[in-house]
Amino acid sequence: MIAFFLSLSLSCSQNIIRKESTMTELLPLEKSIIHTDHNGLTQEEFANLKEKTIKAKDLSYSPYSNFRVGATILTTCGEYISGANVENASYGACICAERTAITRAVVSGFKSFRAIGISTDLKDKIGSPCGICRQVIREFGLNVSIYLFNVDGSKYFRVQLKDILPLSFGPSDLGLPEHDG
């Protein structure tokens, strides 16, 4: 397992290295926030999250970017809620997979999330959430685990929301209570 995780970690790093043409290597800070376990999720929960996240890409409406993204939320109540990107002819009106999943969860009555899975069709990279989605996830808590899967879920890594949006702007900045998440 350790060997597996090491190789996985390495492959993740390489993905990121290829991804950031402005960096000669993965930043130390970035290395330090990448986790390769799924502590906090049982094998069954992890398997469910992965399967539903990969499957969610089939829900994508992305005729403009042809870039399918799927996301699945695991709520603290144990519910799995999926989303996908829904694009628009006016690009600014496009809504990413993470946000369609989050809003679907909220209007389904859930505001506390344990984990979010995300997958794209990138073959040799592991996609990462955009800043808009980090902001929308953050509204409901800083301690959400985000699982980033490659195209088929054969590789992944985990990051924590608070690590990919440090010094974030949230409810307490406007005098409102923070959520538990």
Residues 126-155 that bind a second copy (CB under 8 A): 127-136, 138-139, 141-143
Residue 10 C-beta: closest distance to a second copy, Å: 16
- CA angle 115/44/83 to nearest 5° reads 40
What value, to the nearest 5°, has the Cα angle with vertex 156 and ends 150 and 158?
130
Of the candidates 30, 51, 98, 178, the residue annotated as catalytic is 98
User: Residue count at the site for a second copy (CB under 8 A)?
Assistant: 80
Q: Is 62 annotated for ligand binding?
A: no
Binding of a second copy by 24 (CB under 8 A):
no
89 is in an annotated binding site: yes
Stretch of residues binding a second copy (CB under 8 A), selected from 3-11, 43-51, 120-128:
120-128
Residues 68 and 149: their CA atoms lie apart, in Å, by 13
The pairing of strands 80-84 and 145-149 is unpaired
- Contacts to a second copy from residues 63-82, by CB under 8 A: 63-65, 67, 82
Nearer to a second copy, 29 or 43 (CB): 29
The nearest distance, CB 43 to a second copy, in angstroms, is 25
Helices 97-106 and 131-138 pack at an angle, to 10 degrees, of: 20
User: Considering only CA atoms, which of 123, 178, 114, 175 is closest in space to residue 146?
Assistant: 114
